[in-house]
Amino acid sequence: MVKKVAVVGAGTMGSSIAICVAKNKVSVFLKEINQEALQRGMENIERTLTNLAKRGASIEECNAIKKRILPVMSFDELLDADMAIEVVPEDLTIKKSVLAALDSSCKADCIIVSNTSSFSITQLGSFTQRADRVVGMHFFNPAHVMELVEVIPGLLTSNETVSAAIAFGENLGKLAVRVEECASFLVNRLLGRYANEAVFCLQEGIATVEEIDDAACQLLMPIGPLALRDMNGLDVGLSVAKFNYQEYGERFRPPDLLINLVAKKQLGRKVQSGFYIYDAETRKKLGVNPALALELAAFDRASNQPPFDARRLFLPMINEAFLVLQEKICAPNMIDPALKAGLNMRKGPLQYASEVGFDVCLQEIEELFRLAGERFRPAPLLKRYVWAGKNSVS
Same domain for 215 and 81: no
Supply the DSSP string of 271-310, one letter for each residue: GTBSSEEE-TTT--EEEE-TTHHHHHHTSPPPSSPPPP-T
CA distance 285 to 269: 8
User: Which regions of the chain does DSSP assign to beta strands (E)?
Assistant: 4-8, 27-31, 69-72, 83-86, 111-114, 134-139, 148-153, 175-178, 276-278, 285-288
Provide the domain limits for residue 15: 4-178
Q: Is residue 292 part of a domain?
A: no
**Domain identity same for 159 and 198:** no
**Residue 174 shares a structural domain with residue 208:** no
User: Are 319 and 198 part of one and the same domain?
Assistant: yes
CATH code, 333: 1.10.1040.50
Q: Angle 187-203/225-232 helices, nearest 10 degrees?
A: 110
Mean pLDDT for 202-230 is 97
Cα(273)–Cα(96) distance, integer angstroms = 35
- Is the same domain home to 164 and 256? no
Band of pLDDT at residue 336, cut at 50, 70 and 90: very high
Residue type, 12: T
Together in a domain, 112 and 206: no
Q: Identify whether residues 312 and 230 lie together within a single domain.
A: yes
- Model confidence, pTM: 0.94
Is 352 a domain residue? yes
pLDDT digits 0-9 by tens, 282-330: 889 999 999 999 999 999 887 788 889 999 999 999 999 999 999 999 9
Domain assignment present for residue 277? The answer is no
Is 273 part of any domain?
no
Predicted local distance difference test score (pLDDT) of residue 303: 77
Residue 169 pLDDT more than 90? yes
| Whether residue 385 is found in the same domain as residue 333 | yes
CATH code, 49: 3.40.50.720
How far is CA 153 from each of CA 157, 192, 255, rounded to the nearest angstrom?
Answer: 5, 22, 32
Last residue of a domain, one of 125, 157, 178: 178
In percent, how much of the chain has pLDDT > 90? Answer: 96
Mean per-residue pLDDT over the chain, rounded: 96
**The pLDDT of residue 107:** 97
pLDDT of residue 390: 97
Closest CA to 372 of 268, 302, 317, 269: 302
Each residue of 342-384: pLDDT tens digit?
999 999 999 999 999 999 999 999 999 999 999 999 999 999 9
pLDDT digits (tens, 9 = 90+) for 50-108: 999 999 999 999 999 999 999 999 999 999 999 999 999 999 999 999 999 999 999 99
